Amino acid sequence: MISVLVVDAQPLQRFGFRVLLESTPDTEVVGEAANGAEAVRRASELRPDVVLMDTRTPGVDGIEATRRIVAAGGRSRVLVLTTSDVDRYAFAVLRAGASGFLLEDTRPEELLAGIRAVAAGDAVIAPALTRRLLDAVADRLDDDLGGPGREDPRLGSLTGREREILVAIGHGLTNGEIAHRFTLSESTVKTHVGRVLAKIGARNRIQAVILAYDLRLTRPVQRC
């Protein structure tokens, strides 16, 4: 059973999520919160598997609440729901440590699949969507992304191949695309990706993408 804390400023929205989740055999709502500060407190008390987080909570917003929940180092993983303002929220949400990012018009079955994926330790944003999101917020990244890469202790533990894999992840490539690029089997790529995430301390693929951008190992996709 996957335990979920529902965070939304609107009572009707919280009720809708509760009805959906409690009608599904493998999910249960263990609590609700109407604002970010309450979400942080209830996440600490209830230790849910997944926090379903709205970005537009009053007072402490969902992005800051996500940052605090992740920083606490507990078991809870955060799945953020927001409006179509992808360019406004996406990068901040992912940098805060969220394990997933979905729009509020996501279909119920996709939301449930996202909750299950996050609870299992995966990221729910597909690599292609990760690439689109990062491109959408490229103007918010630090200047001179094309400059020389900054050395970081986390990179020192990577082999040459693993560093290549990290750069490919940063470009938003799928495992299949990485396998084709380096003439490897997908199972080998999956093993490499797992080792890269472990060595750099990333909870999921999304955080690996952000690290690749932060360290200037890759740069936003240039539009024609």
What pLDDT is stored for residue 127 in this prediction? Answer: 52
What pLDDT is stored for residue 144 in this prediction? Answer: 44
> Does 61 or 135 have the greater pLDDT score?
61
pTM over 0.85: no
What pLDDT is stored for residue 189 in this prediction? Answer: 92
pLDDT over 60 at 25, yes or no: yes
Task: Please provide the average confidence, as pLDDT, over all residues in the chain.
Answer: 83
> Does 104 or 40 have the greater pLDDT score?
40
- Token pair, residue 81, equals 């729901």
φ and ψ of 56, to 5 deg: -100, 45
Token pair 């996440």 is found at 43
